[in-house]
Structure 1
Amino acid sequence: MMTSPSVLISGAGVGGTTLAYWLARHGFRVTVVERSAGLRSSGNPVDVRGPAVDVVERMGVLGALQEAATHVTALSFVNGAGRQVGRVNLQAMQRASGSREVEVTRTDLAAILYDAGRDSAEFLFHDTITAVRQDGDGVEVTFRNAAPRRFDLVIGADGLHSTTRKLAFGPESEFVRHMGLFVATLRLGEPAERDREVVLYNAPGRLASIHPVRGEGLAAFIFRAPMPGDFDSRDLEQHKRLVTTAYADAEWQVPQLLERLRAADDIWLDSVSRVRIDRWSDGRIGLLGDAASSVSLFGEGSTLAIAGADTLARELAASPADPQAAFARYEREHRRLVAPRQGNVSVAAALMVPATRRGVAVRNLATRLWPAAAAGGWLRRHLTPSRPSVPAAT
């Protein structure tokens, strides 16, 4: 009897846990390795929309996501004195676009997806890959803590700073381009003043916001800045300096938020970056999610990771004996979903973080003049991915 193919997935985030779920159901033997000691995520609100809604519904977790949803109904833009200068009714936009999207924290999303597949896959927490060596029949993997093992396939779902991509494809500098923005978040440990509205303050090149997240406020900072030559994605003190420098003269509630940030034991910060790589696979090693094609700004990376994991699992199940062909089909289909999103990063940045005072004023005015139906249609065209049609076989 033929042995089920073994797959190692690096990364227990949104894409990795979704892929583990579907591969296990297709009969693969799945192991997931995660650098953190447990599930860890930024806590940023993200959207499950478009093709991802169908995927999580088939996984049986849509109800759990709806229960964990943030239930935000509006975006309220304020000036330095806290006076409202613009507003977007999200409920009206969702009705206008017929959306079934769910906004949920990345932490809750990853936990719900993990719970769905935890009993059908092996999870190695607090460990990471240190070396890979493949031949025609499999991949020899060395871990930091666990004993070396051999797998039929290795999938890197380990994010923007992917270890798998570095080991198998080359250094990060060859594939990752900083888009001129950073995002930082800080949990406030108390409820937001407005329990159904995100409050946003803009100064040129900077946005600060407070987001109600299931009874707790989450402060977010999105700001334009060049990439420091010594940037370290795990250097907490450097991250605090980047934020406090960028917002040194900001108004609204920013000075108080910065005091909390300086005293915090943990914040999340990273670059808004675009990953471009010629091929998402090399032999028996493939990439998924941000490791292959980061487009993160409006939370759409989670939707793309879920949709991509579903496509990759389906294609690997269709031809387990020919993973190169499966990887090629997955990449061909999923690139058509990703490409428009990578092209819209500049549009999204101009909308959320205008670079000039005039840009801030024009955006605020637009939020007051935009009819809900027009706003919903614009966002659906520019910011909401939809499942591409699959070409008929020839």
Structure 2
Amino acid sequence: MKKNLAFTLTPVLLALLAACGQKPDGAGGHGGPGGPPPVSVAPATQREVQEFDEFTARLEAPDTVEVRARVAGTVEAVRFKEGQVVKKGEPLFTIDARAFKADVARAEAQVAALKTQSELARADLARAEKLVSVNAVSQQEIDQLRTALRSAEANLKGAEAALVQSRLNVEYANVTAPVTGRTSRANVTPGNLVGVGDPVLTTLVSSDKVYAYFDASEATFLKYMRAAKPASTVVQMGLSNEDGFPHTGKLDFVDNRLNPATASIRARAVFDNKGGQFTPGLYARVKLGGSATYSGVVVPDRAITTDQTKKIVLVVGPNNIVQPRPVNPGALIDGMRVVDGVKAGELVIVDGLLRAFPGAPVTPQVLKVDDKGMPIPAPQPGAPGAAPAPAPASAASK
């Protein structure tokens, strides 16, 4: 008898629960009792766009020179401050040049002696040639005198070359900067003996310009070849601690072959570095203009979803019915994707995609967009400027 009473009361309890607005477990709805689910939508925007290709790059100096000694000797002085910018020709190291100066004096004396011998041989030949007409000397003697003159002149030229080399050694003892740039640390200190070419005294990198080397894919290379891009294409660059691409340079080099192992080609952009803000070896981001400016329809990239093998967006059509729309996605610019297949002004679902089903109704909430077409998130309930949320019904009203 008790069991029959329990079954009799069950429909009554369900009716009371329904009257109070409560639902049994598993009977929850979307966006309100019995209403279509809420979604956030934004209008597709038509604007002028320009496609860009972005790459990662490494900065390198146009000139990197390992400064080495060209003569052997003892380092007398380091003439620069480590890390400073030096101009071409400024002294860096001084090597003891006393032995080289002694070689210069010896070579000068040798040149003077051989010059005297050459003059004497020339005078002897001139006197002998005057006596030929009276048969006072033989032709053999004339030939011997001419040979002696040529030999003296050759010895003089050799001595003069040795003198030039000795003077160069004195000059090389003063190691100067081969290019204008920033110095590294000094690898030797005064008192150390250095040989010819060993060790590296310091490293010097040029600082007025900087190169950004990056690798482009084969497809990107072919695209630019079809567009007949000149070598002076404008390139923008940003460092890892910078927002966007605040620096502007030019593309000045593309390699003559692709790397078959990576299917990529090396390219280089040059940037002005007179302010010294770029250091060789830094990581950088570069952006290269991939097309001319054109008019296109853009939607938020997050609004694009996949239906098996094709890309689609969900559009809210008449009577708030969801319509799947196949699209051909293009370039991604500032979070907005260029698409072909959506008209400007159509409402595209950007949030709540999992609650929207093709052919089913939804409750759209139209979001405002910024000047680029990106949706501005709606204010959360309780946030400043948000509309007050409706007060829940009291227990008494139930």
More helix by share: 1
Q: Decide: shared fold, TM above 0.5.
A: no
Name the structure, 1 or 2, with higher relative contact order (CA <8 Å, separation 6+): 2
TM-score (norm 1): 0.17
TM-score (norm 2): 0.17
